[in-house]
Amino acid sequence: MIMPIHLYGTRVWDGPAKKVTKFDDKLVGLIRDMFETMYNADGIGLAANQVGLQMSFAVMDISVMEDYAGEKPLVVINPEIVESSGEYVMEEGCLSVPGIRDEVTRADRLVVRFTDGNFERVETELTGMWARVFQHEYDHLQQKFFINRLSGVKRQILKPKLSKIKRNEVKSRYPVVSALDEKKSG
Ligand code: ZN
């Protein structure tokens, strides 16, 4: 089932993503829906709060990128960053912040812990694009967006665009919920 993506400014971002404690069929179904929603929107990562769920998990698949064609999809539940080092700059966008892209500095090597799609706890090293996507989704689970990592000046410039996102005046190719939609439905 394709779920609407909750844009910047919607209520789900007011509260923290809670630790997942039930590893059941319901979670399996949510993970499947999240992948379907992500692929439908041509995304390479999607955090649960982006579909309105205050739960600490995300799905990722970077195999659409030429250099990562052989990579398998990844499910990360209750993720933690144990170590991070290095840095590199790359342009990012986000399904919850349509129409905005900007350069973000991130660590290029991580040691992370999470529960995977087989519900097994894993500790592993991530580098390159995997490290970047992991950090982007991890940020979402801490109620953050890539725009929170931009300079104050850049964020100031983006303000009118962010207001448009709240009013759902930005075109998206996928179903969304905006702050205005939430206000209307009470
Ligand atoms: Zn995002």
Report CA(23)–ligand 1 centroid distance (Å).
Answer: 24
CATH code assigned at 22 = 3.90.45.10
Q: Can you give the residue range of the structural domain that contains 130?
A: 5-185
Ion ligand 1: protein residues whose beta carbon lies under 5 Å? 94
Which residues carry out catalysis?
A: 137
Helix (H) or strand (E) holding 174: none
The mean pLDDT value for 116-134 works out to 97
Q: Mean pLDDT in the chain?
A: 96
Number of structural domains the chain divides into: 1
pTM over 0.85: yes
Report CA(119)–ligand 1 centroid distance (Å).
Answer: 24
Report CA(135)–ligand 1 centroid distance (Å).
Answer: 10
**pLDDT for 186 beyond 90:** no
**pLDDT for 185 beyond 90:** no
Contact (Cβ atoms closer than 8 angstroms) between residue 56 and residue 34: no
Query: What does DSSP assign to residue 17?
Result: P
DSSP string, 111-152: EEEEE-TTS-EEEEEEEHHHHHHHHHHHHHHTT--GGGGS-H
| Chain segment 54-64, per-residue pLDDT in tens | 999 999 999 99
Provide the pLDDT confidence category of residue 49 given band limits of 50, 70 and 90: very high
At residue 105, the pLDDT reads: 96
Report CA(123)–ligand 1 centroid distance (Å).
Answer: 23
